[in-house]
Amino acid sequence: MARVVLVTGASGGVGLALCRRLLEEDGRLHLCIACRNEQTCENTRERILAYHPSAQVSTVEVDLGNLASILRAARELRCRFNRLDFVYLNAGIMPNPHVNFKALWRGLLTGKVLHMLTTAEGIMTQTDRLNGDGLQEVFATNLFGHFMLVRQLQALLCGNEKPSRLIWTSSSNARESAFSLSDYQHAKGQESYSSSKYATDLTSVVLNRKYNDQGLYSSVVCPGLVMSNMTYRILPIFLWKLLMPLMWLIRFFAKTYTLTPYNGVEAHVWLFKQKPEYLDCLVKYHSCTTGLGRCYVEARKMDVDEDVAEKFFQKLLELEEETLEKYSDLLD
Ligand SMILES: NC(=O)C1=CN([C@@H]2O[C@H](COP(=O)(O)OP(=O)(O)OC[C@H]3O[C@@H](n4cnc5c(N)ncnc54)[C@H](OP(=O)(O)O)[C@@H]3O)[C@@H](O)[C@H]2O)C=CC1
Ligand SMILES: CC(C)=CCC[C@@H](C)[C@H]1CC[C@H]2C3=C(CC[C@]12C)[C@@]1(C)CCC(=O)[C@@H](C)[C@@H]1CC3
pLDDT in tens, 42-101: 999 999 999 999 999 999 999 999 999 999 999 999 999 999 999 999 999 999 999 999
193 is catalytic: yes
14 in contact with ligand 1, CB cutoff 6 A: yes
Q: Name the residue at shortest CA distance from atom 17 of ligand 2.
A: 120
Q: Tell me the backbone φ, ψ of residue 59, rounded to 5 degrees.
A: -130, 155
260/91 Cα distance (integer angstroms): 17
User: CATH for 4-330?
Assistant: 3.40.50.720
Per annotation, catalytic residue among 51, 88, 184, 193 = 193
Question: How many beta carbons lie within 10 A of that of residue 6, not counting itself?
Answer: 27
Q: Which residues contact 79 (CB under 8 A, 6 or more apart)?
A: none
Q: Which ligand sits closest to the CA of 191?
A: 2
162/314 Cα distance (integer angstroms): 28
Which residues are 173's β-sheet partners?
A: none
332/330 Cα distance (integer angstroms): 7
282/323 Cα distance (integer angstroms): 29
Q: Which residues contact 67 (CB under 8 A, 6 or more apart)?
A: 133, 140, 145, 148, 323, 326, 327
Ligand 1 centroid–CA 16 distance in Å is: 10
67/146 Cα distance (integer angstroms): 10
Q: How far is CA 75 from the centre of its chain?
A: 22
Longest dimension (CA), the chain: 58
What tens-digit pLDDT sequence spans the chain (332 residues)?
Answer: 899 999 999 999 999 999 999 999 999 999 999 999 999 999 999 999 999 999 999 999 999 999 999 999 999 999 999 999 999 999 999 999 999 999 999 999 888 999 999 999 999 999 999 999 999 999 999 999 999 999 999 999 999 999 999 999 999 999 999 999 999 999 999 999 999 999 999 999 999 999 999 999 999 999 999 999 999 999 999 999 999 999 999 999 999 999 999 999 999 999 999 999 999 999 999 999 999 999 999 999 998 999 999 999 999 999 999 999 999 988 88
Best CA proximity match to 168, nearest among 246, 223, 237 = 223
| DSSP label at residue 287 | E
Q: Name the residue at shortest CA distance from atom 13 of ligand 2.
A: 120
CA gyration radius for the chain? 19
64 in contact with ligand 1, CB cutoff 6 A: yes
In this predicted complex, what is the ipTM? 0.99
Ligand 2 centroid–CA 119 distance in Å is: 7
147/40 Cα distance (integer angstroms): 23
Ligand 2 centroid–CA 230 distance in Å is: 11
Best CA proximity match to 99, nearest among 196, 199, 236 = 236
Q: How many CA atoms lie within 13 A of 157 on its CB side?
A: 25
302/104 Cα distance (integer angstroms): 25
Domain ranges within the chain, ordered by starting residue: 4-330
